[in-house]
Amino acid sequence: MITRDELDSVFINLLKEVQTISYGACILQNFAVNTYGGSEMSILVVMAFDRYVSICHPLRYNSIMSLTTVFRLIGTAWLYPFILVSILVLLTVRLPLCGSVILKIYCDNWSVVRLSCIDTAVNNTYGMVCTVAMLVVMPILIVISYIAILRVCAKSSKDFRVKALQTCAPHLIALATFLVDVLFEIFLYRYSPTTLPHALRVFMSIHFLVVPPLLNPLIYGMKIRELRIKIIQLLQRQPFALKGSMQL
């Protein structure tokens, strides 16, 4: 459990110009952040496969996406990034460090590796392999699944295309949001981040960690009619609430 005082200290430390963290906690944070990013991407691939089966092979959906298959896909979606990131972090831990200052407000692998006193060619090569595996191979798999979906939709009726769009749109929005955030995060600290205001750097750094988890329930929840009605009702009541408070 996280107490209120501990939570307050986290936000206070976040807003400081200089944040401090132990080496062990930094490595753990590095592992957690990279595992989260990899798992998010691999889960999006599994979801793309689910969309492909439901649209391209609707009559075989139950036989293909059996409970056993679902458990295997979910297990692979978590295990694949876990193994990749574990090796990545183990390669980082072996490095002696000559510095203790990183530009980000949290520890990521690139920021820690660049503090090393020795040659980091192995780390850089494996880091590139992980980047390609997560941000090139996986999006390609998603693109392949959607090419197959588009081919089926091109031969189908208008109603079928509308239903396919309703099925795929939330997934595509979630994918685009996550990829933009991750790519922005990767390139941000390669190009003079110190020229940006501190508050803006803090927001940009935590954006990919905070925004996708907050948006995903809304993106996928909008397909649920009851939730959609409640949100519309809430938005319709809001102006009246504001007007009433102004009159007081």
Residue 9: its pLDDT value, please?
46
Output the pLDDT for position 3: 44
Q: Which domains does the chain have, with CATH numbers?
A: 19-247 (1.20.1070.10)
Longest dimension (CA), the chain: 67
- Give the residue from 226, 237, 217, 49 showing the smallest Cα distance to 149: 49
Residue 18 host element (H or E) = none
pTM of full prediction above 0.85: no
Helices (H), the chain: 4-15, 23-56, 61-64, 67-93, 109-113, 121-132, 138-154, 158-188, 198-221, 225-247
Q: Mean pLDDT per segment of 10 residues, for the chain of length 248 residues?
A: 45 64 87 89 91 90 92 93 95 89 80 88 92 89 90 84 80 82 71 64 72 74 67 65 42
pLDDT for residue 189: 60
Residue 42 near residue 76 (C-beta atoms within 8 A) = yes
> 64 and 240 in contact (C-beta within 8 Å)?
no
